[in-house]
Structure formats: C-alpha cells, structure tokens
C-alpha cells in the first residue's frame, strides 16, 4: 500500500462526480426490487413463494439477496431515493479507490490502469442494485487471495466470513468461491496436491455458499440463475459484451492485460494469470462480468507495468492537488444532496404510479414493462398479485421471459400475450407496441405524464 497519490485521487474524484451527475439514471429495476424485497421482509418476514406477480404466482421464491434488500430498504426508509442513490455512488467510488490503493505497483503504473478503469467501472456498475453492496467485498477478496499467493498466511481465512456475508447479499458469491478454488488449485499445482491449509480453505469456501436461511433450496436457485439460456437471449446484462463506445475502456484494459500476460508473464503469480483469463472470458461472455474484471485488473495489472517504457508522470505541490480534489468531492456531494426529491425520481414519478393504480382499480391485471414492475409493486401495494412479472426472472415459468420480450418489441403475438391483462404500462420509447395496440381502437391511452405510457383496454 502507498500514500495517497494526487493523480489517483483526482481520478477517483472524477468518478465520484460523474456518478453524482447522473444519479437519477442510476435507478434500475433491481434497485426497486431491493426496496420492495426489504419492505416485504420488514412487514411479512422472509418470503418463500411468489405472491406479487401473475406469471410467477405460487412458485418458490428463493430470496437469496434478502440481506442486501434489508440494507437497501433501510437506507431508502431514511429519506427515499436521495440517501439510497448517494450511498450507492459512494460504494462504487469507494470500491474503486480501495482497489487503486491496494494495487501492486508504483503510483504511475496504477494511474495508467485506473484512468480507463474508472470509466469502465462507472459505465458498468453505476446502477443502484444489490450487487453494489458486494463491490467492497470483491476488492477485499481479491487483495486477500493475491497477497496469499505471494506470501501465504492464515490471514487468507478471512475470506470465509466474507463469503458467508456475501452469500446473503448477492448471487455473485458463486464467482467469489470460484476465485478461491482457483487460488487453491494454483497453489497445489507445483506439488500436485493441496496442503491441509488450502484444502480447509476450499471446503469452507464451498460450504459458505449455503450459509443462508434458504440453504436447502440454493442448489436449484444457483442452477436456474447460472444456466438459464433465456437470460442470455433476452437480458442485456447476460448478453456478450460487444465492442462499442461504452465498452471501449473495458476492451482497452482487456488488451493491456493480455499484452502484459504475454510480455511479462513472470510478473504474475499462477493464480493471477488464471484468474485474469477466467474473469476476462466471463466479462466478454456477459456484460455483467465487466465489473469484476475491472476491479481485479486494477489490483494486479499495475505491478506488471514496472518494466514497460511508459512515460513518467509527476506533479508538483501534491498537497494542493489532494486538497483541491477533496474540495471538489465535497462540493459535488453538496450540490447533489441539495437537489429536490423530484429530481432523483424524475424517471419514476409517483403521480404516474397513482394513475396506474387508479386505472387498474380493484381487479384489473397489469402488464408492466420490466423497468416498472417492482416500482409499481412498491409504490402501489394494491397492485400486488396483479402485475404480470417483475425483476425476479428466475421465478418465471419457461417461456414467460420470451413473452415479456415479445410485448416490449411489439411482436406479432403481443395481443395474444396481453389478452388476460386490462392495463399496459410502457416506456415512451416503446412506440411500436403502443402504436399496434392503439391502432384498432381496442386500447386507449390514459394520461400519466411524459415518463410513463399507460394503456387501458377499451370497453363497449
């Protein structure tokens, strides 16, 4: 570890300011799902079966993220979206800063990785969701495993309580356990067998996957989530990471990592090499893996840049730069915190939720775009049990995720899928399905503002 570097501090502050500038756009269906789940747990206890949606009604609900939902709802209950979004941004920026501080290598080398890393992390991890809560845990896990690969010690067993906590926060605990097993395998490879220390670590790591109130049902949950072919077909986070302006920083880091592995392989331990390759493959295979690759690279790659002919970056009066960065960070926080509550919820106006609830009345069933399901279930509790589906895609029967996507794109059979529903809630940009439904006069539009489109089935 090193003393704070002014340029690294400037990069971290730039990431922080960028996150604060776009707080409303960082709301996501997963964030509303976290608030809703926490609300249900507080008032009704841990759920076991779905009672919220039409398509998933009665199916087993393994609420693996229950602790993250409680934490998210706790912050949300303090003051709504303002503290929740600010806390989310703080965790993302803080995890980045921690990874940069723990990185191996000189400050100059860390800076070369941190600059594109901040961009890649900001674009891939800014959304408010339960996953954010495990970013600091991933940084800690990475540091413990990287340090143990170079200087083995009992300190590595701190990963066990970390994994136990993680197993109740987010399903990416499976990735964390995979990294532990890779570290154990890399340590055992030279002698062709693991030691008692690493064998114990592996057993405890695997056991931690099931340290949850839902332990008996977790094998099925992990299998459904990790090996569901529909997810990769219809959910953007599960689709391959295409080369685009938004992913350019990630691909730059990927190229740098591959180049360093080929040019200076001895700069990496066997564990670091294996983990880099595995995380890169997972990141290319699905955009949800970009976050973990970026944080891991930020810790391990700078140390490999030491022998490369990179320009030297220096700064005079470092204390002034650090002071200015601190002032900017505090100022950005003050500006964001002073925004009116309506700014944070500009894409999810409460008035629109009231319109949907009034339009649906006491009995009508509602088909809501995936972005709106959990928001409506939280803001309009009278709709619980009458909305088609929400962000818990793992509780959907086979084929229903395809039906949800079919409506969103206005596929030919959308009307058949919507037949049981009397109200449809869409985003304004979903013009094709809206035009199709309004064309023959069987649906009419209900005024709900500029951010939400509400259609009611015509009667008579």
pLDDT band for position 321 (cuts 50, 70, 90): low
Closest CA to 179 of 271, 74, 104, 263: 271
Mean residue pLDDT of the chain comes to: 91
| Inter-CA distances, 16 with 110, 119, 120, 121, 205, Å | 18, 11, 13, 11, 33
Whether pLDDT at 460 is above 60: no
pLDDT above 70 as % of the chain? 96
Reduce the secondary structure of 339-350 to three states and give it as a string: CCHHHHCCCCCH
Query: What are 413's two structure tokens?
Result: 């059979």
DSSP strand pairing (423-426 vs 366-368): parallel
**Is the torsion defined by CA of 318, 319, 320, 324 positive or negative?**
positive
Measured in Å, how far apart are the chain's first and last C-alpha atoms?
A: 73
Question: Rounded to 5, what percent of the chain is helix, strand, coil?
Answer: 65, 5, 30
Query: Which residues are within 8 A (CB) of 68 and not within 5 positions of it... i.e. 6 or more apart?
Result: 34, 130, 133, 134, 168, 169, 170
pLDDT tens sequence across 232-282: 899 999 999 999 999 999 999 999 999 999 999 999 999 999 999 999 999
pLDDT tens sequence across 178-193: 999 999 999 998 888 8
Domain boundaries, the chain: 6-305, 350-457
pLDDT tens sequence across 16-75: 999 999 999 999 999 999 999 999 999 999 999 999 999 999 999 999 999 999 999 999
Closest CA to 380 of 425, 321, 434: 425
Cα 99 from Cα 96, distance rounded (Å): 5
E-strand spans in 201-335? none
Query: What are 30's two structure tokens?
Result: 């997963």
* Residue 115 near residue 144, CB atoms below 8 Å: no
């Amino acid at each position: 570890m090193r003393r704070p570097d002014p340029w690294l501090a400037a990069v971290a502050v730039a990431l922080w300011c960028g996150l604060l500038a776009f707080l409303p756009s960082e709301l996501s269906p997963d964030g509303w799902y976290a608030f809703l789940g926490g609300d249900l747990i507080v008032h009704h206890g841990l759920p076991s079966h779905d009672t919220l949606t039409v398509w998933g009604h009665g199916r087993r609900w393994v609420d693996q993220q229950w602790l993250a939902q409680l934490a998210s709802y706790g912050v949300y209950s303090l003051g709504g979206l303002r503290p929740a979004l600010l806390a989310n941004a703080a965790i993302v920026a803080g995890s980045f800063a921690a990874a940069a501080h723990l990185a191996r290598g000189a400050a100059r080398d860390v800076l070369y990785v941190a600059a594109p890393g901040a961009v890649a992390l900001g674009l891939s991890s800014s959304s408010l969701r339960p996953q954010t809560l495990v970013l600091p845990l991933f940084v800690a896990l990475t540091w413990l495993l990287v340090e143990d690969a170079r200087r083995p010690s009992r300190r590595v067993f701190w990963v066990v309580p970390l994994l136990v906590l993680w197993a109740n926060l987010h399903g990416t605990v499976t990735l964390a356990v995979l990294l532990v097993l890779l570290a154990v395998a890399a340590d055992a490879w030279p002698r062709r067998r693991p030691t008692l220390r690493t064998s114990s670590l592996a057993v405890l790591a695997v056991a931690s996957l099931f340290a949850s109130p839902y332990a008996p049902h977790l094998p099925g949950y992990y299998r459904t989530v990790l090996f569901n072919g529909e997810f990769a077909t219809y959910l953007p986070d599960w689709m391959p990471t295409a080369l685009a302006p938004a992913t350019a920083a990630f691909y730059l880091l990927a190229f740098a990592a591959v180049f360093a592995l080929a040019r200076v392989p001895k700069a990496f331990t066997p564990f670091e090499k294996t983990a880099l390759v595995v995380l890169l493959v997972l990141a290319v295979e699905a955009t949800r893996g970009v976050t973990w690759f970026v944080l891991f690279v930020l810790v391990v790659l700078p140390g490999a840049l030491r022998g490369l002919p990179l320009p030297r970056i220096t700064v005079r009066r470092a204390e002034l730069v650090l002071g200015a960065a601190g002032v900017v960070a505090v100022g950005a926080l003050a500006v964001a915190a002073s925004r009116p509550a309506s700014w944070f919820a500009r894409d999810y106006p409460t008035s629109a939720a009231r319109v949907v609830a009034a339009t649906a009345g006491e009995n009508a069933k509602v088909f809501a775009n995936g972005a709106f399901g959990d928001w409506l279930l939280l803001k309009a509790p009278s709709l619980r049990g009458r909305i088609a589906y929400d962000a818990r895609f793992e509780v959907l029967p086979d084929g229903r995720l395809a039906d949800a996507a079919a409506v969103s794109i206005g596929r030919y059979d959308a009307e058949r899928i919507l037949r049981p529903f009397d109200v449809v809630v869409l985003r304004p940009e979903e013009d094709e399905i809206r035009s199709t439904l309004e064309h023959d006069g069987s649906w009419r539009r209900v005024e709900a503002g500029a951010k939400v489109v509400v259609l009611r089935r015509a009667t008579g």
